[in-house]
């Protein structure tokens, strides 16, 4: 008899569902760790990862994010420290600065390499979810 995934999920107990969720997440972490251990791009410090997340969110929302906008986020630290992190991230190839209509303002953007990195992570997440459905 052919049993669909939907049918199997409906018959799982709450503990089974929690185990599946945890298993999926742990599998994703394992796969993501594998990417970090064999990186195609230089690694990021924790603050740089937070900045990358902010830039990526702006990219997904198709929102403009200038260096000044980032500097206004006081929870990230001082402007001098942020400038240093942005410079480091540019040198590592994670972000780029694009000109705006105001020559004094620069827009933060993801590079093609960082977009490729996010695409790989997305595929890993899909792979982890598919593996947990088996």
Of residues 134 and 29, more confidently modeled: 29
Span 34-51, pLDDT tens digits: 766 666 678 889 999 999
CATH topology of domain 5-133: Arc Repressor Mutant, subunit A (1.10.10)
Identify whether the C-beta of residue 111 lies closer than 8 Å to the C-beta of residue 86: no
Of residues 125 and 91, more confidently modeled: 91
pTM of the predicted protein model? 0.71
In angstroms, the CA 108 to CA 25 distance is 30
Span 13-34, pLDDT tens digits: 555 556 667 777 887 787 777 7
Q: What is the 3-state secondary structure (H, E, C) of 35-78?
A: HHHCCCCCCCCHHHHHHHHHHHHHHHCCCCCEHHHHHCCHHHCC
């Amino acid at each position: 008899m052919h049993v669909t995934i939907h049918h199997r999920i409906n018959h799982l107990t709450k503990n089974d569902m929690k185990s599946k969720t945890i298993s999926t997440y742990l599998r994703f972490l394992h796969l993501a760790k594998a990417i970090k251990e064999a990186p195609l791009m230089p690694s990021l410090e924790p603050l740089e990862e937070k900045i990358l997340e902010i830039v990526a969110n702006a990219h997904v929302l198709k929102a403009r994010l200038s260096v000044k906008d980032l500097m206004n986020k006081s929870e990230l630290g001082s402007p001098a420290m942020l400038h240093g992190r942005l410079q480091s991230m540019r040198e590592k190839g994670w972000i780029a600065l694009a000109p705006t209509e105001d020559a004094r303002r620069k827009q933060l953007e993801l590079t093609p390499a960082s977009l490729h990195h996010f695409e790989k992570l997305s595929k890993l997440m899909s792979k982890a979810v598919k593996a947990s459905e088996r």
